[in-house]
Chain A
Amino acid sequence: MKRTAIALAALIGSGTFVSAETVTPDNVVMDEYGSIEASLTGVAGDPAAGAEVMSSRGLGNCVACHQVSALSAAFQGNVGPSLDGAADRWEEAQLRGIVSNAKMTFPDSVMPSFYKTSGFIRPGNAFTGKAAEGALEPLLTAQQIEDVVAYLATLKE
């Protein structure tokens, strides 16, 4: 369905159809409870890629704070709750909201905002300790957020 839409958009060109475009961090539409209804990319998330993002230190490194039984990553932390059964507790839109900007669901959470690029105090240039230069990239790309959401949706008990 989505794929057809994209193909059609490409065929017809701009104007008639809105092509599936990536939503930038500043244009995310979030409801008052912190949920994000619409996909950030229009491209279905890949759960396997999401599992990789969650385990890898250089990407989401969610296991630094969360324990996930289905992931084999070593040394899973316990700063946040276990994510086992997360899909039983949250709808997809809620999960997308939590992963993008958890502070809108859990005020003052220590969980970083993975899809946000402004409002920081002394933002750095990655882990160099130096000041950031130019516009910041979000911690995860829109598609990585979708991949993570797709993986979280598999965490049912």
Chain B
Amino acid sequence: MTTTKLLKTAGLVAVLAYASSASAQDDSQLVINGEIEMITEVATQDYIGGLKTAYSGWRFRNSDMQAMQLDDFENPAAIAVDEGLASWSKVDGSEGKSCASCHEDLEASMAGVRAVYPKWNEEAGAVMTLASQINNCRTEQMGAEAWKYDGTEMTGMEAVISLQSRGMPVNVAVDGPAHDAWLKGEEIYYTRYGQLELSCANCHEDNADNYIRADHLSQGQINGFPAFRLKTGGLVQVQNRFKGCIRDTRAETFKPGSEEFVALELYVASRGNGLSVEAPSVRP
């Protein structure tokens, strides 16, 4: 993908953001590159009390924005994905290794990984996100410095790894040793933070499909993350998105990578168990 293409895309932002009111949540089919059929609507598991059907955020976008995700040549995330791809085989750190030194072929080694993260890690004795697993390999395996949790390098790497699971159903485990973290995430999801006293559920469960000023509220699903946001013109890490939503309630946010956000990520992922991994998606 060329820079010209990206610039053209950036020019679209203003138009898209204010395009005539987004088509109310419709029953459009998401088929990427004419071949990968995506599940954008699925019955939730019984443990998700407040939500019967999960819908991908794609379903709430207007048709112009939806179209940008249909074809990888239209998807503005391509540049970040290319960068992630380059860093997969880039040697870094005291051990003189790259990701490829150990994991070899990206497609073969990372297929299906994104679909099951966040996931309990026995050795760490904690739930790990894709980002914390990547940083763990950097510091423990490569002797390299950890990337900023929601920085550009991390987000690009997450995107290229997620791409290897695109179209596969999200399937995070919520029981067993991960259950405590899941419960904590659920509690955070329903807590009304900040001076505006709004919980994730107030907006994304009670009011999904409503408009809050110009914003068409989705269910706040994370199957599309990292997502390319037209508003900022860049790829956004999922916990960075959480941070923005909490900040907008006039609250003190949690930090990306914090125990709270890891728990929240696991819980929110489980609300979308069964939706296809859609990353990198295109969002407002």
Contact = CB atoms under 8 A, between A and B. Distances in A.
Interface string B206-250: 110011111101000000000000000000000000010011111
B194 interface: yes
A79 B247 contact: no
Interface stretch (A2-10, A89-97, A118-126, A147-155): A118-126
Interface stretch (A12-20, A26-34, A37-45, A58-66): A58-66
Interface in A81-132: 110, 112-113, 120-132
B211 A63 contact: no
A127 B198 CA distance: 14
B197 interface: yes
A61 B196 CA distance: 12
B193 interface: yes
A49 interface: no
A127 B250 contact: yes
Contacts of A126: 250
Given A129-B246, A139-B195, A123 B212 contact: no
Contact of B252 (A110, A113, A124): A124
B253 interface: yes
Given A110-B206, A124-B252, A126-B250, A78 B211 contact: yes
Contact of A110 (B195, B207, B211, B247): B207
Nearest to B246: A129
A131 B212 CA distance: 25
A120 B213 contact: no
B252 A129 contact: yes
A80 to B, nearest CB: 9
A93 B252 CA distance: 33
A110 B196 CA distance: 9
B179 interface: no
B197 A113 contact: yes
Interface in B164-201: 191-198
A125 B253 CA distance: 10
A69 to B, nearest CB: 16
A136 interface: yes
B213 A64 contact: yes
Given A63-B213, A110-B206, A120 B195 contact: yes
Contacts of A76: 213
Contacts of B246: 129
Contact of A78 (B191, B210, B251): B210
A122 B193 CA distance: 6
Given A123-B195, A124-B195, 20 more contacts: A57-B213, A61-B213, A74-B214, A75-B213, A120-B193, A120-B197, A121-B191, A121-B194, A122-B252, A123-B194, A123-B251, A123-B252, A124-B247, A124-B249, A124-B252, A124-B253, A127-B250, A129-B247, A139-B195, A139-B196
Interface of B: 191-198, 202-203, 206-207, 210-215, 217, 243, 246-253
Interface of A: 57, 61, 63-65, 74-79, 110, 112-113, 120-132, 136, 139
13 contacts: A64-B212, A74-B214, A75-B213, A79-B210, A110-B206, A113-B197, A120-B194, A122-B194, A123-B251, A123-B252, A124-B195, A127-B247, A129-B253
